[in-house]
Structure 1
Amino acid sequence: MHAPIGNPPARRPVAPVHIVGAAATAFLPEHDAMPDELVFAAVHQALREAGLRQQDLGLSVTASMDVLDARSISSGLTNAAAGGYLRDAFRIEGDAGLAVIAAAEAVASGDVEVAVAVGVHNPETTGTTRDRQAFLQQISNLAFEPHVDRPVGMTATATYALQAAHHVATTEADAESLARLAAAEISRGSGRARAVRGAPATAADVLASAPVSWPLHELMLPAESTGAVAIVLASPARAGRCLGRDARITGLGHATGRYTWAGDWISDPAAPTRRAAADALALAGPGDGAVVAELSAPTPALHAAYVDALGCADAVVNASGGVLSNFPGLANGALRLLEVLDQLDGAAVGARGLSHSVDSITGLVSQDVSVLVVEAA
């Protein structure tokens, strides 16, 4: 990779993009509903909260994936449900955090006054929890390099276990300390309306859960769920005429990681998060540190690295329990933002929150990271 030539371009502050509506469906192990039904339910509720109608939308961005929906061009099914009929609409095959960024950029540029970003995750499979997990692991393996990675069984979970083992070998962490951190996250989220792990846990509970790959146990991994989350965005002028939420996106950042053979996904897994956070905070401009942060750490071995990369050590981190409390696959980025919005409700004007999400299809390899800076308006 060549070093950049000359000075980097000056960063232009992003015109604030207001969040005027946000809603989610229930989160279940498996929904007895089609993806378009889930999308419609979330978008309808979010628009209603904002006092808007489908005809007010200028753009709809959906986060979903054909292979999970079990049909090609599956966005043809969900575009209309997302309000995209006879309007601009497109689909991102990745995490909903990137869908929010794409919709926010369209509003900030002046292309549209109102946009919606929606993530939906309800893999087209049936059976036991073990069957669903096996299906997702197979999809993950298929996303890896076909000649080198696939034959050795690389999956997202395998990358998490390799990094966790490296973390234990090179730091003072051990399985017990990882279990304590996982238990704290699960317990913090327990009892909340959106939690799918509804009961508090102890470190002993975590270590007693099914072993996955040393040093990881089942309760150290994300709490898989299905559902849809919609975020309605508006320009400042249009937001003043809306009824819903009162927050705004002031910074956004996106970065990707490198391939398996680079190896830094084990030694420095937070590098993409660090780059995305630097861009988001630079665009947001000067301000007090975040008071709340929702980060997506798929294992407790990644938690400290992501906190450091986001610079949010002084914030209330993962009050919702994070992904160990609820992880709705591709809809996770929108859910993390929704949790930040709920925590900023009633906060002083200008209070900051950080929303961090990672596309987990290939785990730590080729990470696709989104970071949003949100302020109470």
Structure 2
Amino acid sequence: MPPRPPRPVRRMAPVHVVGLAATPFLPEQDAMLDELVFDVTYAALRECGLRKQDLGLSVMASLDVLDGRSISSGLYTAAAGGYLNDAFRIEGDSGLAVIAAAEAVAAGDVEVAVAVGVYNPEVRSADREARRSFLAQVSNLGFEPHFDRPVGLTAEVVYALHAAHTLESGGEDLDAFARLAAEEITRGSERPRSVRTAPVTAQEVLASEQVAAPLRELMLPAHSTGAVAVVLASPARAGRCLGRSARITGFGHATGGYTWDGRWLSDPAAPTRRATRIAYGQAGISAAAEQVGLVELTAPTPALHAPYLGALGLAASLGDKDVNASGGARSNFPGLANGALRLLEVVEQLESRAGASTAVAHSVDTGTGLVSEDVSVLVVEAA
């Protein structure tokens, strides 16, 4: 039986981004999780002139095993405005939390919602290697227990396998990976939220520590910790708010297959392509190359930059300054808060760039790398 054609996607009512706030991004935060969540929620609400009682829904993004406690969202639900209110937690990237909050607003269930991503792993060590080892162990726990875990699969190993496959197939070379990483790190080095604050050359990228062959440390995301809050409102309510002037006109979410599926290696951009079709369909975008002027892309390795950009339909249309003007994940990657950070970067670029009217924020959950990859795509317009 031939596969069913994809269902047509309905246009959606726009959801306005009226408030955005982020903590400083550090290797490790001294504050408790509820303090981080309260700080950004309070700042985002204050920016748009709203209060806790205006919220109809709070959606949080975090993970118990990283937070070091079970039902960890019980600690900071109140800090996100969820006390005596509707609230739930997404155990994944905050891009999906933004989508969940936007769905509630677009459906008319609430007028105002907040999405908060918080990431401050309970490593109990200031040592960089100890943090990496802890995150690798958490990543390994996400894989299939009988076959994948025993061989030591982690997100970094999966990304390295894909990068090696790309090199062996002749699609790219290691020097090209190093140049792309150096360009992004250098471009983001002067940005206020970057955690890699010094320009680098391609030679310095190649000379950095080899994490998993062929990937070097500077080719991988610049890990940080922090929290980001996004306040969303219906068009009617947004008209009475202060603060930001952007709106989400489309959003899409998709997940990848299992290890034995093999598509994560042969077609790693398939989930991004599916999420993009949904988001563009909702936004009424028929020719992304002509309609989208900038993108914040989450490519955990340089080998994924071109496939993801192609899946978004933007491979040939945007210049270097229009793709990851912030430096992307190689300048700052705050774990599960990344999706909300990519949206923040997109909104600020729309506010500051003359002539830019439509942008895309793309994020992936890197818990198990390309295996069972979780992807969110947001289409954002200047209001």
Measured against the shorter chain, the TM-score band is: over 0.9
8 Å contact from structure 2 (residues 269, 308) kept in 1: yes
Q: Distance in 2 between matches of 1:122 and 1:8?
A: 39
Please list, as runs of the form range in 1=range in 2, the aligned pairs for 1:154-193 lying within 5 A after superposition. 154-193=153-192
Please list, as runs of the form range in 1=range in 2, the aligned pairs for 1:31-50 lying within 5 A after superposition. 31-50=29-48
Residue 176 (structure 1) shift? 1.3
Equivalent of 2:11, from 10, 13, 21?
Answer: 13
1:137 match: 136
2:267 match: 268
Residue 332 (structure 1) shift? 0.3
8 Å contact from structure 1 (residues 122, 226) kept in 2: yes
Deviates more, 1:23-32 or 1:337-346: 337-346
Deviates more, 1:338-347 or 1:284-293: 284-293
Residue 347 (structure 1) shift? 4.7
8 Å contact from structure 1 (residues 18, 247) kept in 2: yes
Does 2:244 align with 1:245? Answer: yes
Deviates more, 1:124-133 or 1:242-251: 124-133
Q: Distance in 1 between matches of 2:2 and 2:94?
A: 31
| Letter aligned with residue 364 of structure 2 | V
| Letter aligned with residue 343 of structure 2 | L
8 Å contact from structure 2 (residues 350, 356) kept in 1: no
Does 2:105 align with 1:107? Answer: yes
Alignment deviations for residues 212-261 of structure 1 (CA, whole Å, 9 cap, x no partner): 12210000000000000000000000000000100000000000000001
1:28 match: 26
Residue 8 (structure 1) shift? 4.9
Q: Distance in 2 between matches of 1:176 and 1:371?
A: 29
Equivalent of 1:317, from 320, 323, 328?
Answer: 323
Q: Distance in 2 between matches of 1:346 and 1:180?
A: 27
Residue 349 (structure 1) shift? 8.1
Task: Mark the CA change 1:3 to 1:111 in structure 2 (over 3 Å): closer, same or farther.
Answer: farther
Unpaired segments of 5 or more residues in structure 2?
none
Q: Distance in 1 between matches of 2:357 and 2:345?
A: 15
Q: Distance in 2 between matches of 1:84 and 1:194?
A: 28
2:219 match: 220
Number of aligned positions between the proteins: 375
Alignment deviations for residues 246-298 of structure 1 (CA, whole Å, 9 cap, x no partner): 00000000000000011111111111001101110011004742111001000
2:301 match: 299
Equivalent of 2:117, from 83, 94, 119?
Answer: 119
Q: Distance in 2 between matches of 1:171 and 1:310?
A: 23
Q: Distance in 1 between matches of 2:171 and 2:94?
A: 35
2:78 match: 80
SS at match of 1:81: helix
SS at match of 1:345: helix
8 Å contact from structure 1 (residues 22, 231) kept in 2: yes
Residue 155 (structure 1) shift? 0.2
SS at match of 1:101: helix
2:343 match: 337
2:93 match: 95
Q: Distance in 1 between matches of 2:363 and 2:171?
A: 27
Q: Distance in 2 between matches of 1:337 and 1:372?
A: 8
Deviates more, 1:164-173 or 1:221-230: 164-173
Task: Mark the CA change 1:216 to 1:350 in structure 2 (over 3 Å): closer, same or farther.
Answer: closer
Q: Distance in 2 between matches of 1:293 and 1:103?
A: 21
Alignment deviations for residues 76-107 of structure 1 (CA, whole Å, 9 cap, x no partner): 01110001010000000000000000000000
Task: Mark the CA change 1:85 to 1:323 in structure 2 (over 3 Å): closer, same or farther.
Answer: same
Residue 9 (structure 1) shift? 4.2
SS at match of 2:78: coil
8 Å contact from structure 1 (residues 95, 331) kept in 2: yes
Q: Distance in 2 between matches of 1:110 and 1:103?
A: 11
CA RMSD of aligned residues (A): 1.3
8 Å contact from structure 1 (residues 348, 376) kept in 2: no
Residue 3 (structure 1) shift? 5.0
SS at match of 1:32: coil
8 Å contact from structure 1 (residues 58, 112) kept in 2: yes
1:150 match: 149
2:357 match: 351
| Letter aligned with residue 123 of structure 2 | T
2:283 match: 284
8 Å contact from structure 1 (residues 289, 312) kept in 2: no
SS at match of 2:376: strand
Instruction: Extract structure 1 runs of 4+ deviating beyond 3 A.
Output: 2-5, 7-10, 346-350
Q: Distance in 1 between matches of 2:133 and 2:284?
A: 44
For normalisation by structure 2, the TM-score amounts to: 0.96
1:308 match: 310
Residue 125 (structure 1) shift? 1.3
